Amino acid sequence: MTLTGLIARYVRLNWRPYLLAALMLASVSALTVFIPRHVGHVVDGLAAGRLDRAALLGQLGWLVLAGVLIYFLRVAWRLQLFAASYRLGAELRTRLYARLCLQGPHFFHQRGTGDLMALATNDIDAVEMASGEAMLAGFDGTLTLIMVVAMMTLGIDWRLALAALLPFPFMAFAFWRISSHIHQASKDSLERFGKLNDHVQETLTGVRTLRALGLEARSAARLAELAEHAASASLRAQRWEAAFEPAVGITLVSATVLTLGLGGTLVWQGALTIGALTAFSMYLGQLIWPMFAAGWVLSLMERGRAAWGRLQPTLDTPLSIDDHGTQTGAPVGALVFKRVSFSYPGHQARALTGIDMRLMAGHTLGVVGPTGAGKSSLLRLILRQYAANEGSIDWGAHALADYTLDSLHQAISWVPQEPFLFSASVAENIGLARAGASRAEIENAARLACIDDDIARMAQGYETPVGEKGVSLSGGQRQRVAIARALLADASLLLLDDALSAVDTQTETSILQHLQELRKARPDKSTVIVSHRLSAVMDAEHILVLKEGRMVEQGDHASLIALGGWYAAQWRYQQLQASLDAA
């Protein structure tokens, strides 16, 4: 869909405010055209001696009334038109946000956060201006031009009108050339602003790392370079926009010279009155607005086209995972992988190869292996962040893809390796898992995650702000707040992706004991624990050992120790390390 098509569709759906604004603009144009004509009659009346003091005051009163009406009508149509264009901006931002929420990790690996933020701000602002300011200027300028030219031609003298319009084709050619440059310059400006946003976002996110490595100067130099590029691109667009004014000025001066030359001759010959020439000169002055309006419209539309050209591909990008499922009920039963293989988009190497496993309802599955073995990839397939290339994944009586993403997400609680906390209080971060959760439920979840004592020592307790991304908390505290949030959700399947890596072994043991107690009380709930610490999975009913994306061992803790493979060797190593740390 083109920008023009987008605006046309929106105007059709919201025709009432646009129609009302158009009627008000038409009234303004009619009153504006009335004023020069009326002034011409007053001048002729004064020259002929037909107007006494009272009549003159009456005629001036009509002019004042017209000015007052124009003022209030301009205020009213702005309220109508801009309210409609702001709603379009809100609709586009809502669509963009909803689309981004449905995209998977692969999409965000390709797009920078700062650039996406620029789409939601600068680019949508440009589209919004095209649907509001440009619509206004285009309609008002066109209507004013038609009425003024009609009055000049039919109401005064067609010869003067023809002479005044002779320079306009040259102005049209100049506008066409200028607008093509504005489009390219605006596109470049928006793209450079997106890159600048990307750098600022990354810098603020990693500011502590930059300080630790002493890279502040390098980052500042890069920011200055990007800011200079963005400013240069924006200035280039502004330069081309500024070229409209000289084109209008030259056209108007040329038209004025031709009009005065021909008009003076006609007055000298008695074919035209002084009042008519005065009115014509005022009409010629009123053509300034349609000229500027044409340039303004072209500028706004080219900016809007450039912005829409960046925004539309994002809105139309296919979802990383298609949500074509029809099952809306909560999944019930075993989670089964059948010969599942998977590779990340754009990568030939397989992250998982030929995975066969079954997680019975109410059981705990442990997934272990060396770094890069594919443990997190397994969880991402369960979450449907990615789709398997080969094989099938079933949950209960249906394939995983048969469930809607919404029902699937409601059935799963996930604690990632790097938990994300919002800039809110501890209680609000935990309570995100379930709307309307009571304080007692939040505190119970915190107790199960062994974070309650830490919260009690905080200055404001559960109302303590955690800062952006939980910056005021330690790594272990952030993990436990995230675990509490997942436990509060009370989902059918709990996924812990190395979620205990930042806590000590004693705290880990306490959390696992609480999980066992919780699962015993709710025998229909299943758990998948991914961990580098084998102590976290030793009580699981079934354990998978992955290496280079393949299952190399499986069984319970005792059978894997007896097998004497990777698991047994890693267990002995970790036990030795624990005994040395205790000593």
Computed over every residue of the chain, the mean pLDDT equals 82
If you average pLDDT over residues 162-191, what whole number do you get? 79
Mode of pairing for the β-strands spanning 542-547 and 550-555: antiparallel
CB environment 50-61: b (16+ within 10 A), e (fewer): ebeeeeeeebee
pLDDT confidence band for 337 (50 / 70 / 90): very high
pLDDT confidence band for 38 (50 / 70 / 90): low
Q: Is the confidence at residue 564, as pLDDT, over 70?
A: yes
Q: Between helices 244-268 and 216-242, what is the axis angle to 10°? A: 20
pLDDT in tens, 348-359: 888 999 999 999
**What's residue 544's pLDDT?**
93
pLDDT confidence band for 582 (50 / 70 / 90): low
CB 156 within 8 A of CB 318: no
Could you give the residue ranges of the DSSP H alpha helices within 462-583?
A: 475-489, 505-521, 557-563, 566-582
pLDDT in tens, 421-465: 888 888 998 988 888 888 898 988 899 888 988 888 888 888 988
**What's residue 41's pLDDT?**
66
430 phi/psi in degrees, rounded to 5: -70, -45
Mode of pairing for the β-strands spanning 542-547 and 493-497: unpaired
Whole-number Å distance between alpha carbons of 359 and 382: 12
CB 219 within 8 A of CB 203: yes
Q: Is the confidence at residue 36, as pLDDT, over 70?
A: no
Q: How far is CA 113 from the centre of its chain?
A: 9
**What's residue 136's pLDDT?**
73
Q: Which of 207-221, 271-285, 487-501 has the lowest mean pLDDT?
A: 271-285
DSSP string of 554-573, one letter each residue = EE-HHHHHHHTSHHHHHHHH
Could you tell me the domains of the chain?
3-316 (1.20.1560.10), 335-411+532-583 (3.40.50.300)
If you average pLDDT over residues 205-217, what whole number do you get? 76
pLDDT confidence band for 48 (50 / 70 / 90): low
**What's residue 476's pLDDT?**
85
**What's residue 16's pLDDT?**
79
Alpha-carbon dihedral of residues 45, 51, 54, 59, nearest 10 degrees?
Answer: -10
Tell which wins on pLDDT, 150 or 559: 559
**pTM score > 0.75 for this model?**
no
If you average pLDDT over residues 336-352, what whole number do you get? 88
Contacts of 496 (CB under 8 A, 6+ apart): 415, 483, 486, 527, 528, 529, 530, 531
pLDDT confidence band for 550 (50 / 70 / 90): very high
Q: Is the confidence at residue 47, as pLDDT, over 70?
A: no
pLDDT in tens, 276-310: 777 777 777 767 777 777 777 877 888 888 888 88
pLDDT in tens, 363-408: 899 999 998 889 989 999 998 888 888 999 999 888 888 888 888 8
Q: Smallest Cα–Cα separation from 359: which of 346, 385, 378, 380? A: 378
Q: Is the confidence at residue 583, as pLDDT, over 60?
A: no
Whole-number Å distance between alpha carbons of 36 and 275: 10
Q: Is 299 helix (H, G, I), strand (E, B) or coil?
A: helix
Q: Which of 58-72, 303-317, 539-553 has the lowest mean pLDDT?
A: 58-72
Contacts of 554 (CB under 8 A, 6+ apart): 357, 542, 543, 544, 545, 560
Q: Is the confidence at residue 105, as pLDDT, over 60?
A: yes
Tokens found for residue 240: 């081309």
Whole-number Å distance between alpha carbons of 241 and 283: 25
